[in-house]
Structure 1
Amino acid sequence: MTHFENENKSDSNEDIHSEHKNEEVHRDAHKEHSEHKSHKESHPVKGKKLKFDMWKVATGVLALILVVTLISSFTSGPDTISKEEAGVNMVQFVNTNLLQGQAVAKLESVTEEGGLYNVKLTISGQEVDSYVTKDGEIFFPQGIKVNEYGNEAASSDAQQQAPADVPKSDKPVVELFVMSHCPYGTQAEKGILPVVNLLGDKIDFQLKFVYYAMHGKTEVDEQMRQVCINNEQTDKYNDYLACFLEAGEAKPCLTSAEINTDKLDLCVTKLDAQYKITENFNDKSTWLSGNYPLFNVHKADNEKYGVGGSPTLVINGEQANSARSPAAYLATICAAFNDQPKECTESTGVSTETYQPGFGYEVGAATAASCG
């Protein structure tokens, strides 16, 4: 069963790399996710897929589809354009036609490679290698190096299967730090929640929040709501969270999880006053780097473990790496037991699929991306 620990310290870490410069961009991105109803992993899911997720091209087939369809009209003839012009055109094309406000691409460099221009972009702090023909007519969102593909695929499979080397204990303490509306945080929550339900009280699981928010007032309010549900109506929290992760809407999930809203509202009011959450939100002079409002409920643990972004997994007091499928989280957590329970060795039907980033339970591509 999950629980929150409320601790308060004030100083913020200034060494955070931002995912986006504009919180409104984040909110627009998350609104593209589906409307929700069910909240169990095993239930049929009806959510919509992400509007466009070109940066997780995983196979040659998808790459070929994108190559055929993403043909731009930057020039009208076969003449070669300069590297500089290609870079400017690609950034404009990606931001206008592909990302459409979900994120902002920035140009890093343009070089010649294999008869093409290699256009390096950064999106949400992640470097992306894309390519364009020298006439600027055909854009390749991702290149696959044929002679390296097999080794990379094998390495990826091994990473999914091999549990991290984590400290062991009789009852592992598992802490997951997220932002409630970070697409990679919600991806991690969807992957780990079935494992939390499976292992039950054999682990001490604590869902906590990163000490700053990147997705506006909506995120700040939701995190206060979740802290209070988990603190005061703990037995209903997992049901609420599973529902919320389907579409990011609180109201229907409060109903389906049978949350006492009067009790919840009172708790939120007290929590807000204790940590000055709304007060700090309204005072931008307190924001991290002037960009992100503080959320200090779990500030002390953020500092203790060096948490810098969402998601961050901590097991037995040390940061741990894990792929984000339920099966991968199960393997990682089970590696932290001195003596593994039968759930670690006898459980069947634990999904090896990774859910898509953001809200909704559609299968997506494995990623190590984060917010922050």
Structure 2
Amino acid sequence: MRGRAARVRHRRPGTAFGRRRRRPSRRVPPGERSRPSHVGGSRMSGPTTGRIVAEISDLHVHFPIRHGRQRLLARAVDGVDLTIHEREIVALVGESGCGKTTIARTIMRLEDATSGSISVAGVDITHVGGRQLRTMRRDFQMIFQDPFESLPANSTAFDVVAEGLAIHHRQLDAPARREAAIAALAACGLPEAVTGRRMFELSGGQRQRVAIASAVAVEPRLLVADEPVSMLDVSLRAGILRVLLDLRERLGIATLFITHDLALAGVFADRVAVLYLGCVVEQGTGAEVIANPAHPYTRALVEVMPKPGGRRGPRALLSGEPPNPTERVTGCRFAARCSLFRALGSPERCTTEPPALRSIGADHAVACHFWDAMAHSTAKEKIV
């Protein structure tokens, strides 16, 4: 028995997926422990009381493009503020081209921020690079949308997971690394028999589980999930979502969940942020945003959500075209397509003053000058 105990102590995986499930201690930045959640101004924190894990402040991401001889800037992200707490799932919702994936890639430092800041675990990562960035990547990991493109086809499931452990947990010897990799795969619903299979031998759902295991095996503080179930059959999606929820409870991971599906975000996430053309237009708990949408764009998304019995609500048609992302908008970006704007007689304020994200409730904020008009049933009937 003494020899067996000695062997267990020697292996010491040092990860949550090994025999010793004790997370290595990390320095908590001063003031982070007692930082309160808040609502107001242009930022809104969720109802959770855990430590702040990720904080995005006034993030702008612009891309230079050429139009003939002209050099223009496409404003993909234009002033986003977002806070994510420990164990919290925040869903970023919007249609294609609104800037969701750009925000995710900028957090992962795959794109450079034009201005603003991104902090993870109390450290500003906006401009770090080189060895410092490689060291810090353990704290933030990403699950990509397409597991067929993001994972090497000839690598085994074990190799994919063990690679991250070899980079971010160098103290692990080979047996400990193998134990941790197998445990991470098991936590994602993959038995040990799958560890030796190559990616081309696995289904899409199995590949995505491998991708999740690879991301969480290194014990990140923040998990960025970019449409993690959109490429999967409907029958497989619930299983992947259950895995993410289980890992949240087990590891306390904060998650930024990117999706175009507001109905899914409403039931899966603790908090929802609705994005339109690079700006957050509404934010709150999923239940509150869906039950009482305060922004006309959010209401349009809610109206086309499937209803019980497979029915859909009345179609809320958005007339007009979104503004060109290379042109600077002086007022509200949604005004040209907004039914509330037309119902109120095209107020000048909507075309001259950009609306700030303001608190309208304990867990609800909106960027609309005339949001209160949405609260009246008669106005709702006119708008939709």
TM-score, normalised with respect to structure 2: 0.24
Relative contact order (C-alpha < 8 Å, sep 6+): which is higher?
1
Q: TM-score, length-normalised on structure 1? A: 0.24
